[in-house]
Every structure is written in C-alpha cells, then in structure tokens.
C-alpha cells in the first residue's frame, strides 16, 4: 500500500470544511518535501498533522482546533492498493475506487479525546464510522513512521532517535544469524528444564496449595507457558553513547555540544546506517562484485516504499552556511534510494533544489481563511530545464530565494540585477518605497532561464515582472536567434499566468539590449556590471525617461496590487526610517 495524498482541515492554523480541505499535500513519488513560507503561517502545523494522523490514539489539545471547538479536526489520507493482497484487505474492499485508491479519515471532536475513525464507502458514497476494521493496519502498511527532529531537541532526544534506529536495524539482521537461532533454541530448553526441575515443582505445588486455601478456583504456575524468545532482550545489548573529541583534546558528551553538531550527527548517523544496511542486504555475489567481504549471509532487500519519514523543523538551524550546504547534500542523499522520506519546514533557499528528481516544494501562506499551500513538483520541468536549475543552484545557492518571496522581478543577468537593486535602494532612501514592500530582484543567469522561474512562480501564485532584452532577430549567419525565440516563450508564460489570475505578470523589454536602450557603451576595463552600476548611481530616479527607471516604476505598479504578508521586515522598515530621522548618515538598507 502507498500513501498518495494527505488532506488537512481545521487543524491549528489550517482552516477548510468537510467539502474543501484547508491544505492538500500530494505525497506520491516524493522523496523530499520542503515546506517554505514566512513565520507563523502553518508549516509546522502540516508536520504535526501528519504525525497526528499516523500515530495511534493521539488526544487533541484545545489549541489543535482551528478557531474553536465548533470546527472538528479532519485529517484524511488517500491510500493506493499495490497488489492483490492490498485489494483484498477488509478495510480496502468497500473503500477502493476504480483507481484502487481508498480514503480514510480521523476526526477529533473533543479536547482530551482521541480521533474517531472513518472509511469512505464507494457504494453508498458516505463515510462508514469505525474504520471498517483493519484501519490501523492500513496506516502502518501505507504511511511511513514519523521521526521528529524539532528545532530545539535536547542531546538526549537526538541520541534516543539514533539509538532506536540502530536497534531496529541490528535486531532485524541479528534474528537471521545462526547463533541467534541456536541461542533461542537453547533458551527454550533451559526454560523447560527449570519448569520441570524437582525443586520448581515442589515449590509450585506448595504455593499453589496455599493459594487454594483462600481462592479455591485459582491456579499458580512459577514458569510461563509461553515460548521463550531473546528478541526483546537483544536490544539491551545495543546502546549508543557519543563522545566527541575536538582537535585531539579530551572527549566530551553530546549534551555539551551545540544544536548544530547534534543535528549533523543525527543525519550523518542516519545516512551511514542506511549505507551500511544496503551493503549488508546484498547477496554474496553482489558483495563479491563490489569488492566487499562476505561478513554476513543476508539476502537481498530491495527498498520500494518509504518506511520512515523525517519531520524536520528548520534543518538549517544553528548551522554555519558551509555546513548548511553539506547538510543539504546529506538530506537528499539520505532520501535517495533509502527507506527514508523527508519533510522539512525551512526558511533557507539553500535547501531547495527542484532539479532533483522526486522533490516537491510547498509554499505555505496565511490568508484570512487560514493556512493555504501551493505545491510544485520537480516533474513540471523538462529535462533541459532541470539541468538549468542544477547549474543555477551550483552557481548561486540563493537563486531559489525567488520562491520564498511575495513579489518578484526577474532579470537576465548580473548587469540588470545590480542596476535594479540600486534603483530599489534609491527608492527606499527617498521614501518612494517602503523596505517591507520591496520586490525581490532575481538574477536568472540568462534570458534562456527565465521561463523556468516563471513556471514555478505561476504554480505558487507569486506575482512577477520580467525585464529582458529584445535582442536581434537573426544571427550573423542569418538564422533566427535563440534569444529572439525566447521572447515568445516568455510572453506565453505571462499570458498563461494572467489567464488564471488577472494582472499577475507583466514585462518590460529593453530595445535590443541594456546598453543600447540607455545609449551608452560600457567601459571594458570595468566590465558590464560595474559600468552599469556607476551609470545607475548618476541617474535622477524621478526621470521616467530612463528605461530602467521606467521599468522599475511599471513593475512596482503591477506588483503593488499584491497584498503583502505581514513579516519581520515591517518592523525593520520602521527602524530604518526612524534611524534616518535622527541620523545624518547614509542608509545601508539592502534589498
């Protein structure tokens, strides 16, 4: 069985109703799910909603209900049968539609109570109360087990998670060893000998007689009749204690290290656990081919479905920028080809990489009706667009910041990015524009890359404005230039977005190119970007005849219709303006 969708209604910041869920998450064919958005918009609510649904008997708290207890919490899952056994499961029989998808719900109505279970009946088109039997089994088979990494987890919590994973891995393999079978057999022999020993029998008869003096209908046995097993005891042999030595100094415990070290350790441990178990699960022939010693005779174990999901609050928290990049690689490597699925709530564009297969990005925003989510998957891109995004992420890890903004201006390259940021800075300084209302300038790397950004911004319903060159129609050889063809593609993307949401996208075209539009030649000793920067510094920003200034004013007019979410930048803007009123120094506000 496989989890396909998660639908969330009236849970914490998430609204909705019985017919229209507040948030819908498509879980199909995803390894990494990144939830992005500003503070307090409901990202963690989505993580907790998953945990509430798949964990047995969680009692609802007062704060779990959206806008009061009158709104029942509804969390629903769509689960797909993947074989005959799944299709014949008693909980799937009446719920499964023609696509072999069954629908299951948990509904919380009271504080301090666990959820009621419901299964959708495709025949009656109604919800059957009670889950139709086998409800929890369905969830265990289809939904990955949640493993939390919260923002301020203690060292003990980190080690407990690692220890649990290690024990699960070790015990699953130990039971296949010959010595385990032998010990189990010997343990059963020992149990029988103790049970049948003369002293045991005499003591049992004596105590049983004393019991019957008071309770004639009761019997006493000193040794349990159940077959003995050492499986539960094996876990006691496995315990994880971490001592970290820094630069050959004395070793100190995990609790004396910062949260960044703790988080990195957890993920390194998970990654290595996965790698080791992949090697151990190979056949003897496979290990021989790989040059790996045949240390354990364990049969091949293919990873098909995800059995665990890591729920991570702000993976970038407490990490140095270089460590964030390493951490990002660890996340994606861990999710690829392992039993781990990953869902994060993040503020870092470095963690976002839509060029990776099986990756989905969910932009979470707050509206007057509660949390709303816009989801985009990596499969919206053509193969060449994925290569483009991969290149851009390598060149500029912050390029995905475009997907975190409310208003965006897309420009071709370095020259335009420098100029338009300088214009925005000037508008903020002369109070034409508030810092909190400033759009984000995104350097797309080239004109050819702009449509890839347009696609994602449309999916996320982020208003944008494009500034690009017209370029020559023909190349020197007389062929139609690729840059000229891109004019049409950019225009088609704008038309597509506007057909869905009126006045959501527009553009400004520089006649031929930036230099010709502004009637100047760049200084070859300075290069294009620096020459343009010095030119922009000389402009009168009230002069609407300057193409770049005119473009910026048109962009601000188009993007002004977008209602800006309340952010920390509002207070920052007030601080900056307050400082201006008491200081003669130049503003250093950066855009």
Q: What does the pLDDT read at residue 507?
A: 96
Q: What does the pLDDT read at residue 153?
A: 60
What is the pTM for the complete model shown?
0.72
Task: Provide the residue-wise pLDDT of the chain in tens; the chain has 591 residues.
Answer: 788 999 999 999 999 998 999 999 998 888 899 999 988 899 999 999 999 999 988 999 999 999 999 999 999 999 998 888 888 887 788 889 999 999 999 999 999 999 999 999 999 999 998 765 678 888 888 888 888 888 666 556 656 666 666 666 667 677 777 887 888 788 888 878 887 888 888 888 888 888 778 778 877 777 666 665 666 666 666 555 555 555 555 554 555 555 566 666 666 665 555 554 444 444 444 444 444 333 333 333 444 567 888 898 988 887 778 878 877 887 888 788 677 889 999 999 888 887 788 888 999 999 889 999 999 887 777 777 777 777 666 657 677 888 888 899 999 999 999 999 999 999 999 998 998 889 999 999 899 999 989 998 998 899 999 999 999 999 889 899 999 999 999 999 999 999 999 999 999 999 999 999 999 999 999 999 999 999 999 999 999 999 999 999 999 988 875 444 433 333 333 333 443 443 333 333 322
Closest CA to 75 of 118, 121, 31: 118
Instruction: Give the orientation angle of helix 383-395 with respect to helix 450-459, to 10 degrees.
Output: 100
Q: Residues 489, 382: contact at Cβ < 8 Å?
A: no
H helical segments located in 197-320: 198-214, 231-234, 259-280, 284-289
Rg (CA), the chain: 31
368 backbone dihedrals φ, ψ, rounded to 5°: -70, -10
Q: Residues 47, 62: contact at Cβ < 8 Å?
A: no
* Angle CA 569–320–456, to nearest 5: 55
Q: What does the pLDDT read at residue 104?
A: 94
CA pair distance 569, 407, nearest whole angstrom: 14
CA pair distance 23, 374, nearest whole angstrom: 9
Closest CA to 129 of 111, 104, 112: 104
Q: What does the pLDDT read at residue 391?
A: 65
Closest CA to 462 of 400, 414, 553: 400
Q: Residues 467, 487: contact at Cβ < 8 Å?
A: no
Q: What does the pLDDT read at residue 206?
A: 83
CA pair distance 163, 176, nearest whole angstrom: 21
CA pair distance 287, 142, nearest whole angstrom: 31
Query: With 0-12 CB in 10 A as exposed, 13-18 as middle and 19+ as buried, what is 280?
Result: middle
**Alpha carbon distances (Å) from 507 to 242, 368, 504, 511:** 56, 30, 11, 13
Structure-block tokens of residue 121? 């009946």
Bridge partners (DSSP) listed for residue 145: 308
In order of start, what are the domains of the chain with their CATH numbers? 2-144+306-362 (3.40.50.300), 155-252 (no CATH), 405-582 (3.40.50)
- Which H or E run contains 388? helix 383-395
Q: Which residue has tokens 């309770």?
A: 215
Closest CA to 45 of 53, 567, 111: 53
């Amino acid at each position: 069985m496989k989890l396909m969708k998660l639908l969330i209604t009236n849970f914490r910041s998430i609204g909705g109703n019985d017919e229209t869920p507040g948030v819908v998450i498509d879980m199909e064919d995803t390894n990494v799910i990144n939830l992005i958005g500003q503070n307090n918009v409901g990202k963690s609510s989505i993580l907790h909603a998953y945990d509430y649904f798949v964990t047995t008997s969680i009692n609802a708290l007062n704060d779990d209900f959206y806008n009061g207890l009158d709104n029942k919490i509804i969390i629903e899952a769509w689960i797909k049968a993947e074989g005959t056994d799944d299709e014949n499961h008693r909980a799937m029989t009446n719920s499964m539609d023609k696509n072999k998808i069954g629908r299951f719900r948990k509904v919380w109505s009271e504080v301090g109570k666990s959820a009621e279970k419901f299964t959708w009946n495709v025949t009656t088109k109604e919800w059957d109360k009670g889950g139709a039997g086998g409800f929890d089994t369905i969830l265990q088979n289809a939904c990955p087990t949640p493993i939390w990494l919260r923002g301020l987890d203690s060292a003990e919590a980190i080690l407990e998670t690692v220890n649990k994973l290690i024990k699960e891995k070790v015990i699953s393999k130990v039971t296949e060893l010959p010595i385990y079978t032998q010990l189990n057999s010997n343990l059963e022999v020992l149990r029988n000998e103790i049970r049948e020993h003369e002293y045991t029998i005499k003591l049992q008869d004596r105590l049983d007689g004393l019991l019957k003096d008071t309770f004639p209908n009761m019997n006493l046995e000193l040794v349990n009749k159940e077959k003995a097993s050492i499986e539960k005891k094996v876990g006691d042999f496995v315990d994880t204690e971490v001592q970290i030595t820094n630069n050959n100094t004395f070793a100190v415990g995990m609790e004396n290290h910062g949260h960044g070290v703790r988080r990195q350790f957890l993920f390194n441990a998970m990654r290595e656990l996965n790698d080791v178990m992949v090697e151990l699960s190979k056949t003897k022939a496979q290990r021989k081919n790989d040059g790996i010693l045949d240390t354990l005779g364990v049969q091949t174990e293919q990873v098909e479905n995800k059995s665990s999901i890591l729920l991570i609050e702000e993976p970038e928290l407490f990490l140095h920028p270089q460590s964030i990049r390493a951490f990002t690689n660890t996340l994606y490597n861990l999710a690829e080809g392992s039993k781990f699925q990953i869902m994060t709530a993040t503020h870092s564009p470095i963690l976002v990489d839509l060029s990776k297969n099986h990756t989905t990005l969910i932009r979470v925003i707050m509206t007057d009706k509660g949390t709303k989510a816009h989801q985009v998957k990596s499969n919206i891109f053509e193969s060449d667009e994925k290569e483009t995004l991969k290149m851009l992420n390598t060149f500029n890890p912050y390029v995905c910041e475009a997907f975190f903004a409310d208003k965006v201006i897309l420009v071709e390259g370095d020259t335009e990015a420098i100029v338009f940021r300088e214009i925005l800075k000037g508008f903020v300084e002369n109070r034409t524009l508030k810092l909190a209302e400033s759009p984000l300038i995104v350097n797309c790397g080239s004109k050819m890359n702009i449509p890839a950004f347009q696609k994602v911004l449309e999916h996320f319903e982020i208003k944008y404005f494009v500034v690009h060159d017209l370029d020559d129609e023909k190349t020197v050889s007389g062929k139609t230039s690729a840059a000229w063809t891109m004019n049409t593609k950019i225009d088609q993307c704008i038309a597509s977005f506007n057909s869905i949401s009126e006045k959501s996208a527009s553009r400004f075209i520089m006649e031929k190119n930036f230099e010709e539009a502004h009637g100047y030649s760049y200084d070859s000793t300075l290069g294009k970007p620096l020459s343009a920067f010095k030119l922009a510094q000389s402009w009168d920003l009230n002069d609407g005849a300057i193409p770049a200034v005119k473009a910026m004013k048109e962009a601000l007019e188009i993007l002004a219709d977008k209602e800006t979410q309340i952010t920390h930048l509002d207070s920052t803007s007030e601080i900056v303006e307050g400082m201006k009123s008491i200081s003669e120094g130049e503003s250093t506000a950066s855009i």
